Amino acid sequence: MNQIASAMQSGNSFRRLAFVASDTPEAQEAKLRLSAAYGDAQPEEADAIIALGGDGLMLQTLHAFLGTGKPIYGMNRGSVGFLMNEYREDGLIERLAHADATKIHPLTMTVTGQDGRQHTARAINEVSLLRQTSQAARLRISVDGRVRLEELICDGCLVSTPAGSTAYNLSAHGPILPIYAPLLALTPISAFRPRRWRGALLPNRARVDIDILDPGKRPVSASADHKEFRDVAQVTVHEDADLDGLIMFDSDHGWDERILTEMFRY
């Protein structure tokens, strides 16, 4: 058991639980049953937040409680559950007491639109840039103020955290990162030129600047998880080391095991 989990177990008996659920009938029914069995505290008074749904709900819940120190424990009542534990109604308090907790840091995305206005959003999984029309995007990529790729012609690109490396990043043929790796994955999406560029692994302290070349003819959108901005001119991405969230997994099927299973899947 890691140090975070040990501290939580010794200082927190998980007597007060708050339940959040997606809108699906399965998740709503689970919330009713679990609330009747364990009570349903207000989130600000709870020792842990129990998220019932799929990975989308888990991301929403993590965003909602970033920086609060509230551990989030998910149980799968949705269609995708990489971030979720198996759904069982019995023994929930004991499962929480023995769960491993992992601290994750989000990415901060700063977008400058073609109108000059700036917007900021955070991502737990990834920041993604995508072409808005049939025209391929033209991007210039800099790392820590130094241009590393003068021109990338592609459908888009993304910057992924270890937590998000098995999501969109993996679908774009990016690398899977162990959850404690101090790295970010920079991955192209359908690169046309340079055709052989497969992306880069960057230290998590790096700042990535992406300039959209010819944005009027080749417009690009930028998203931080589910928050999207259209017609962007420039995007800056960095990890926010001062902000964190806590996600909990059953000790017999923790994140390390999930990552290894995914790496050897064929």
pLDDT at 3: 39
- pLDDT exceeds cutoff 50 at 10: no
Residues annotated in a binding site for NAD(+): 55-56, 125-126, 155, 163, 166-171
Alpha-carbon distance of 141 to 185, in angstroms, equals 13
- pLDDT exceeds cutoff 70 at 97: yes
- Tokens at 166, concatenated: 């098995």
* Mean pLDDT calculated for residue range 39-51: 96
Task: Identify the CATH homologous superfamily for domain 107-239.
Answer: Probable inorganic polyphosphate/atp-NAD kinase; domain 2 (2.60.200.30)
User: What architecture does CATH give domain 3-105+244-263?
Assistant: 3-Layer(aba) Sandwich (3.40)
Same CATH topology for 3-105+244-263 and 107-239: the answer is no
Q: Which of 10-24, 83-97, 177-191 has the lowest mean pLDDT?
A: 10-24
Query: What is the tens place of the pLDDT at every residue in 101-126?
Result: 989 999 999 999 999 999 999 999 99
Query: What is the tens place of the pLDDT at every residue in 198-246?
Result: 999 999 999 999 999 999 999 999 999 989 999 999 999 999 999 999 9
225 is catalytic: no
Alpha-carbon distance of 196 to 224, in angstroms, equals 26
- pLDDT exceeds cutoff 50 at 51: yes
Catalytic residue among 23, 40, 47, 55: 55
Three-class secondary structure assignment of the chain? CCHHHHHHHHHCCCCCEEEEECCCHHHHHHHHHHHHHHCCCCHHHCCEEEEEECHHHHHHHHHHCCCCCCEEEEEECCCCCCCCECCCCCCHHHHHHHCEEEEECCEEEEEEECCCCEEEEEECCEEEEEECCCCCEEEEEEECCEEEEEEEEECEEEEECCCCCCCHHHHCCCCCCCCCCCEEEEEEECCCECCCCCCEEEECCCCEEEEEECCCCCCEEEEECCEEECCEEEEEEEECCCCCEEEEECHHHCHHHHHHHHHCCC
Enumerate the domain spans of the chain.
3-105+244-263, 107-239
pLDDT at 251: 85
Nearest to 201 by CA among 241, 234, 169, 247: 169
* Mean pLDDT calculated for residue range 245-262: 82
* Mean pLDDT calculated for residue range 9-14: 59
More confident site: 99 or 179? 99
Query: What is the tens place of the pLDDT at every residue in 136-188?
Result: 999 999 999 999 999 999 999 999 999 999 899 999 999 999 888 999 999 99
* Mean pLDDT calculated for residue range 22-28: 96
pLDDT at 12: 52
